[in-house]
Amino acid sequence: MSPAGELVVVDVEQWQSAAGLSKIWVHTIDERDRRFRFEVAAAGDEGKVVAVIVEDTALDPALHPSLRRLPAVVSEVVAHVGVSDLEPRRTSPA
């Protein structure tokens, strides 16, 4: 399911371990007020998309190739928190 129009970031959550592993959750809404949550797992500055949740439906990027590229606004947020190497081929099941 693709967003309608532009996404707006409404919240960002981050968890990080002492070993340098982290998770980032970027919460967004589209122009129809549908909620999208993008979950990225990272080690240092390298990350991969782990899950995309639309409303209450979890989608696995490994099974849905269109989810392997994050929208620009989400990529910018992920880069801002230190994950600069987020490649589409680095996807994994949730």
Query: Which pLDDT does position 27 carry in this prediction?
Result: 98
Place of tokens 């680095």: 90
Query: Which pLDDT does position 42 carry in this prediction?
Result: 93
Q: Which residues of the chain have pLDDT under 50?
A: 89-94
Query: Which pLDDT does position 7 carry in this prediction?
Result: 94
Query: Which pLDDT does position 1 carry in this prediction?
Result: 64
Residue 94 is assigned to a structural domain of this protein:
no
Residue 2 is assigned to a structural domain of this protein:
no
Residue 73 is assigned to a structural domain of this protein:
yes
**Integer Cα distance of 94 and 17 in angstroms:** 19
Residue 52 is assigned to a structural domain of this protein:
yes
Residue 91 is assigned to a structural domain of this protein:
no
Structural domains in the chain (count): 1
Query: Which pLDDT does position 94 carry in this prediction?
Result: 38
What's the N-to-C CA distance of the chain in angstroms?
Answer: 17
Query: Which pLDDT does position 88 carry in this prediction?
Result: 53
Residue 82 is assigned to a structural domain of this protein:
yes
Residue 72 is assigned to a structural domain of this protein:
yes
Burial class (CB in 10 A: 0-12, 13-18, 19+), 73: middle
Residue 1 is assigned to a structural domain of this protein:
no
b/e burial code for range 40-70 (CB count within 10 A of at least 16 → b): bbbeeeebbbbbbbbeeeebebbeeeebbeb
Q: Is 28 helix (H, G, I), strand (E, B) or coil?
A: strand
